Amino acid sequence: MTPPAARAAVSAHLTDTLGLPPNLATHTASELLDRLAVEGWQITATPTARPVAPRARETRRARRLVARLLPRLVRPNGETER
């Protein structure tokens, strides 16, 4: 299912680019998007989530650096160094 905002955007582009009347552009956009949906194409309103790299991909050097710097930056009473 294509969101209504996407249908309206396609219709507006057809009107501006091809000079179609708005009612014909709306009908054309609807038919085009329905046909694409039947063939498996989807336009969604929510972006897909990007995979997060696992901690294992961090280099050993980076982990050592964080382990060495973190105790220096945070004092036992909660104050941070500058």
pLDDT block averages, 10 residues each, the chain of length 82 = 85 90 92 89 72 64 76 61 54
Give the SS3 label for residue 37: helix
pLDDT of residue 49: 65
Is residue 80 classed exposed, middle or buried when 0-12, 13-18 and 19+ CB atoms within 10 A define those classes? exposed
Residue pointed to by tokens 């050097």: 61
Single pTM value for the model: 0.51
Q: What is the DSSP letter of 38?
A: H
Contact 33/47 with Cβ under 8 angstroms?
no
Tokens representing residue 82 in the block: 């500058």
